[in-house]
Structure formats: structure tokens, C-alpha cells
Structure 1
Amino acid sequence: MNFPLFVARRIRNTHETSFSKTVTYVGIGTVAMGVSIILIAFSILFGFKEAIQDKLTSFAGDIQVSQITGNHSLSDSPMRRNLAWEKAVLQNTAIDHIQAHLQKPGILVGDAGLAGIIIKGIGNDVPKDQLSKNMLSGQAQIHHPQDIILSNTLAKQLKVKLHSSLILYFLSNPERPRKVKITGIYETGLEELDKMFILADRSWVQKMNGWSADSIGTYEIFLKKSADLYQSADEIESSMPTEWRLETITELYPALFDWMMMLDRNIVIFITLLLVVASFNLIATLWVLIMERIPMVGLLKALGASHRQIRTIFWWNGFFILLRGLALGNVVAVVFCYLQSTYHFIPLDQESYYMSSVPIVWSMSTWVWVNIGTSLLVALIITLPTIFIKKIQAQEALQYKH
């Protein structure tokens, strides 16, 4: 029989004073609050990062390959499409698909003025569901020349709506305006994309620029969820012709990824403070429980119990409080995350946060490691107040309440 565990269970089941009960509940509540906030914070952090990265990659891919050139404008330089290379790259199990596009700057004229834009020509190699997640209305694919998909930001700026007609000028050929029709309106929530890009038919944009059918501007490579971005980029780069260059999504949009790294640092500081507070509250709780049971400590010492056995008794008491706090904290976190992911009851300013509500991502491995890490840390910390037991003398302890 495990003597310390047996006594700790009996202590836990005995009637306690209202003060010690209150202190115990405070300890449980502190651990529960700390764990639930940590789990919720990780779920929101991963939600932000995944939502922003999904928006970016759905529009620009994980990796872009283009021609090496001295051209630093917003207009792509032509490169010849290499079908053999595409087929070879698709053999990589980390790659989901490849699509080709080209972009050219232009001016879009609407009922309420004009806007400088970038025309992105896309083709049938764009999966149907890729753009649909960002669509507000209309079609997620372009079926006819001179049909365009416009951002909601530009639609509001030009005061136009779905099926409206606009005049489009290519800067490379400004003397030939083209009439275009809005067949879809999208919104990523990322201002630097929404205020600039319109989507058009790739073949039509090639024709307007005098390019041949096999000339493109950029390859967009989309990776599978489990793929490592930088490892995949190295493998792709090693197979490329020497006149091509490769850029990852983190290199294309460094400001957004720097912002997400700043979020990581803030979360680490926040979680560290929470763990420190929870640990010291549990130390205080265990200290009070020891002080209330000094006569029992004296009796156990008089009966021959060792310092280690008595310390283990109170360590088990603290661990029981920790387990109850962990259980309650997990329940609170699960309920909050479920309600937020289902009903989106906490809104956000989309212009500042790139999304309309707080995102939630369920990561089972993160939840397991948070519980294991918290248990190990707090289990180590609660050994500190039990050191005081060595200083308690049996004779003085038996007369403590008198």
C-alpha cells in the first residue's frame, strides 16, 4: 500500500474548515483559469496564423517561380511555360498543384472615379474551391474573356456591384480601353491584396499584351497542409532552370509574417506570466493546508513517519488540486472554443485584423502538451512548501493548537 497516497486521499475526503475549503477552491480556480486561458490563447494564435496564411496562399500560392530579370515594376516579364518541368515537380508528394498566371498594371474606371489596379490573369488550372472561400457573390471562376472578379474594396470605391460594366485600361496599351463585366466579388480581408488585384481570363490578358499562348508571368505552387515550406522550396529550386528565381510566401509578404512573429513573442510572455501566477497561488494554497495540519504532522512524526513520507502526503494533496484545476480549465476552454468557432460571438475589425471574427484552430497535440507541461511544472513547484515540514518538531506540533 502506498502510505502517503492513502493518507492524502483520506485528508482530501475529510471535512475541512471553511477557510481551507475556500483556499482550496481558489487554488483550483487559479489553475483552471490559467490553463483555460493558455489553451484559448494558443487556439486563437493558431487561428490567426492559419486564417491569414490561408488567405495569402489561396491568392498567391505557397511558392512563386518567375523569370530572373531586371524588371522591378508590377508587370510580369514573360517566361515560356515548361510542361516537362511542371510534370516533374508534381511528382513531389509535398506539392498539391501548380498554376500559371501573369499580371499587368492597369486603370479601372467606374461610375464614381477610377482606381489603379493590377490585372491578374488566371486560367483553368485554378481549382474551383480555391477562390470560393473568399467569394462574397458571383462566380469563383472566369468563363468568358473580359469577365473579371473584383474585390469588395474596389467595388465600394468605384460604387459598382455584381454584373456592372467598367472600362479597363492596360498601361502597356492605354490607347485601347476595354469594356469588362464584373462576374464575381471577392474579399480576403488583406488590404494590400483587396485594394489592388482584379482577376481576369489569362488567355485574354496574354492577347492584350501581345504574348503567345505558352508565355506566362509566374508559376504559383501550392503545397499540401503537412508539407514543410522551406524544405519543399529547396527541393523545387534544385530542379529549376538557372534563369528562374523562387520566392516563398514569407518573402513575398514579409510585413504580415513579421506581425505574426510578434504575436508569437507576445503569447510566450503572456503564458509565462500566467504560469508563474498559477504556480505561486498553488504554493500559497498548499502552505495554508500544511499550516492547518501541523498537529497531524507532529503525530505522524511521533508514530515514525519519515520527512519524505509526510512531504509526499502534502505533495499528493497539491497534485489533486492541480488535476481538478486542469480538468475544469479544459472544460472551460473546450466550451469557449466550440462556441466561438460555431457562432463567432466575438467580432473583429476586419481592416485591422484581416478577419471579421476571432478565429479558432483546434490542435490536439498543443492541448496535450499544454496539459503535460503545466502538470510537470506545477508538480515541481509544489515541492517547495513541503520543505517546511523538516523544520516542524513533533512535540511542538502536537501542542500547536494549545
Structure 2
Amino acid sequence: MNLPLFLARRIYNSDDKNRVARPAIRIAIAGVAIGLAVMLVSVSVVFGFKHTIRDKVVGFGSHIQVANFMTLQASEQYPIQMGDSMLRLLRQIPGVKHVQRYAVKQGVLKTETDFLGVAFKGIAADYDTTFLHQNLIAGSIPRFSDTHSTQQLLISDIMANELRLQVGDQIFAYFIDYNGIRVRRLRVAGIYRTHLSQYDRVTCFIDLYTAVKLNGWESDQASGAELTVDDFDRLSATERLLVQKVNRTVDRYGETYSSQTIKEACPQIFSWLDLLDLNVWIILGLMLAVAAVTMISGLLIIILERTAMIGLLKAVGARNRTIRHTFLWFSVFTIGKGLLMGNVIGIGLIALQRFTGLVRLDAATYYVSTVPVEFHPAVIFLLNLATLGICVLVLIAPSYLVSKIHPARSMRYE
């Protein structure tokens, strides 16, 4: 029989409600529960927020862009050949999940009373429109083409509000360059909203064919290709393979291929998101400290309360190690109850927010309308394990207090 475990169970299941230690133990359990619940909610919110913002940024620019070297170095658009052979090469790179072409043309949307400068992003049937469908608020996503013009336009709600447009409205688009002024009459097929104002204010979608023709490029040319990778955590490794096979090669028009990741294209956003990790570590440290301190207090009180019992155990031959293990097992039971309550509270709050969106945010400031949360079973398990392990470790030193208790004096202790 495991004597320390047996004694710990008897102490923990004691029905004596008049003990001084009872309130302290309840406080210790509450400290562990609240600490774990706060940690679970904090990690869930930070992961949800980071991944939501990241996915929105990736939705506009994919994971990796392959384009003309000059395009990636300047704000102007330079053509690069994106024929079948290059697309096939990009798709064969390990880690690449999807490849899609795009072309960008600057222009002006004009109504009878207003006008707005925007970037027309030309896309075709190979473009993954999942992100656009997820953020569509009105109308539909046109079947964009690279062989003919459908005269369809997808705009953001910011553009629609500023130009007073609705789905089905006709609008004129003006394009001014060295070829002069050209006009296209387009129909608003759909309206999207991502809450990323820096993109929503300037990006609308048209046919790839139209964007290429307006730029005066050949049919096999485009602004570049967007690549989606299988694993975002291996983004750098995939890009290194891309650099080896594609970068610094020259197309048949004499243009040089180059590439950049979405982190390189939007360093401010990803640096800001990385700062959130520091906040998480600070919260985890504070909550673990709170749980540890409350458990230390509870353990010291229960040891002092059980001084007579400790003296009796020593008198009958129990070693200090056995008694210390008894109180450490008692602490494990207490921590376990706190962890159970913390999981119920934390996971309950996460589920409530995920399925109801109860806590809302100002989308103009936070880029999302509700607090995003994510369930990560592995993270929940690790937080529970870390909390249990750290709390038990910090209790080892206070448990040595039992060695200072002498049987003769403790038998008279009250």
C-alpha cells in the first residue's frame, strides 16, 4: 500500500468543517481554477486573433508571390511571363498547395457624383475564391476569366458606401496611362467586407483578361502568381526551394523572376501579431504565479493544522520523506480539483464566445467584429500539465517544513 497516498486521501476527504485550513484550501482551489481559466481564454483569444488577421492578409496576397523583380521593388506593375510551363514548375515545388495568376491595374471608379481611385485586381478561373466567398455580404462572386471580359466587378462595402453603389448597378472605370484614357463600363456583381480597411479601400476584382489588356501586356503575361503552401509554419523552407528553382531566372521577354513571402510584403502587420505572443507569456507567468502562491499558502496552513498528526506519525516511525509525500499528494488532489473547475470555466467561456459571439469589438480598430477564439486540445492539455507540474514543484520546498516539527512538542500543539 502507498502510505502517503492513503493518508493524503484521508486528509483530503476529511469531513471536519471546523478546520482553519478549509477556507485556505478553498482559496487555493479557486486560485488554480481562475488562473487556468484565464490562461485558457487568453491563449484561445490570441491564437484566434492572430490566425484570423493572418488569414485575412493571406486572402489578399496568398502566402508567397512570384512576380517581376521590379514589381516587388517598386509600387508600379511590371509584367512577367506566367505561361503553362512556369505554372507547372511552381506547382511541382514541394510544399506548394495552390498556384493562381493575377494582374493589377490602377484606375478610377466614377459615378455621376463621386469618384474613387482603386486597384483593379484581375483574377481568373484558377483563382481560389474561398476567402472572397467567406467575406461576401451581398451579390455573388462572378466567374472571372482569362480569355474574355465578363464586365463584372467585385467591390468592398467601403467602396459601395462611398460611391453609393448596390449590387447590379452600372459604373464607369477610367484608366489613365501612356496609352491615354480608356473607359470600361462594369456591373457590380458582389460586395465583400473583410474589415481590413487598408485593403478594402483600394482592392476590387475584375477579369484577368481585362487587367492584362488594360496593361497592354501579352496573353501569357501577368503581374505574377500567388502561391498557397501546405503548412504556414514551413513558409520559409518552401520559399527557399522557390528561390533555388525560380528566382533570378529570366523569361522569354527578358524579365527577371523574384519572390517574396506575405511576411515580407506586410512586415508591420506580422510584427504586430508577433508582439501578442509576449502578452500571452506575461499572462501565463502571472497566472501561474498566482496559482503557485495560493497553493503554497494552503499547504503551509494545512501542515500547521496537522502538526499533531505529523508528530504522531513521527512517533510511530514515519520518516520525513513519507510525511512530505503525503502533503504533496494532498496538494495534487487540491490542484486537480482546481484544474477541473478551471477547465469547465475556461472551456465554457471559449465555447460561449465561439458559438454566440457574445463579446463584440470595434471592427475599425481590431479588424474583427467579435472576439475570435480557437479550440486547441493539445494546448489545453499542455497548460493543464504545466500548471500541475509547476505548482507541485514550487511546493517541494515548503513541504520540508515537516522536518522542523518535533514529536514531543507537536503532541502538545493546539
Structure 2 length normalisation: TM-score? Answer: 0.93
Aligned: 1:189 with 2:190: no
Q: Give the CA deviation at 1:21.
A: 2.0
In structure 2, the residue matched to 1:155 is 160
Question: 1:149 aligns to what SS in structure 2?
Answer: strand
* Partner Cα separation in structure 1 for residue 207 and residue 7 of structure 2: 77
Which residue of structure 2 lines up, in the alignment, with residue 119 of structure 1? 120
Match for residue 39 of structure 1?
Answer: 40
Over 3 Å counting, the alpha-carbon distance change for 1:272 and 1:112 in structure 2 is farther
Shift of residue 91 of structure 1? 2.7
**How many angstroms does 1:227 deviate by?**
5.8
Instruction: Report the alpha carbon displacement of residue 73 of structure 1 after superposing the two structures with TM.
Output: 4.8
Find 1:342's aligned residue among 355, 368, 384: 355
Q: In structure 1, list runs of 5 or more residues that go unmatched.
A: none
* Inter-partner Cα distance in structure 2 for 1:265 and 1:112: 48
CA distance in 1, matches of 2:305, 2:44: 40
Q: 1:299 aligns with which of 304, 308, 312?
A: 312
- Aligned equivalents of 2:153, 2:278: Cα separation in 1: 41
Aligned residue for 1:257? Answer: 270
Deviation at 1:142, TM superposition (A): 3.9
The alignment partner of 1:162 has SS state of coil
Instruction: Give me the identity figure in percent.
Output: 30
SS at structure 2 position matched to 1:182: strand
- 1:227, 1:271 → 2: CA distance? 23
Residue 174 of structure 1 and its aligned partner are, at CA, apart by 5.3
Q: Residues of 2 paired with 1:177 and 1:362: CA distance?
A: 50
Matched AA of 1:238: Q
CA drift of 1:333 comes to 1.7
In the aligned structure 1, how far is the partner of 2:247 from the partner of 2:265? 21
Indicate yes or no: 2:8 matched with 1:5: no
Q: Cα gap change, 1:327/1:174 in structure 2, threshold over 3 Å: closer, same or farther?
A: farther
Residue pair 1:104, 1:120 contacting (<8 A) in 2 also: yes
Map of 1:146 onto structure 2: 151
How far apart, CA to CA, are the structure 1 residues paired with 2:364 and 2:111?
23
CA drift of 1:193 comes to 0.5
- How far residue 178 of structure 1 moved from its aligned partner, in angstroms, is 2.0
Alpha carbons of structure 1 residues 188 and 70: separation in structure 2 relative to 1, 3 Å:
closer
8 Å contact kept, 2:42–2:283: no
Deviations 1:60-90 (A, max 9, x none): 1000011112785543201111422321332
Pairs within 5 Å for 1:272-283: 272-283=285-296
Secondary structure of the 2:141 match is coil
How many angstroms does 1:320 deviate by? 0.6
Superposition pairs of residues 55-66 of structure 1, within 5 angstroms: 55-66=56-67
* Counterpart for residue 317 of structure 1: 330
Displacement after TM superposition at 1:153 (Å): 1.2
- 1:175 and 1:85 map into 2 onto residues whose CA distance is 33
The answer to whether the 8 Å contact 1:63/1:248 transfers is yes
What are the Cα deviations for residues 268-304 of structure 1, in whole angstroms up to 9, with x where unaligned?
A: 1121111111100110011111111111111111111
CA separation in 2, counterparts of 1:292 and 1:156?
A: 70
My pick for the range that moved more, 352-361 or 237-246, is 237-246
Distance in 1 between residues matched to 2:200 and 2:409, nearest whole Å: 76
- The aligned residue for residue 49 of structure 1 is 50
303-312 or 83-92: bigger deviation: 83-92
* Alignment partners' CA distance in 1, 2:17 and 2:396: 24
Distance in 2, Cα, partners of 1:226 & 1:364? 20
- Aligned residue for 1:207? 213
1:362 and 2:384 aligned: no
Higher mean displacement: 271-280 or 156-165? 156-165
Amino acid at match of 1:188: T
Asked if 1:176 corresponds to 2:182, the answer is yes
Q: Residue 212 of structure 1: CA displacement? A: 1.6
- May I ask how many residue pairs the two structures share in their alignment? 401
Superposition RMSD in Å? 1.7
**Other structure's SS at 1:374 match:** helix
Alpha-carbon contact 1:106-1:119 (below 8 Å) kept: yes
Any conservation in 2 of the 1:286–1:318 contact (CA below 8 Å)? Answer: yes
> Following the alignment from structure 2 to structure 1, what is the Cα–Cα distance between the partners of residues 247 and 401?
71
**Aligned positions of 1:387-398 closer than 5 A:** 387-398=400-411
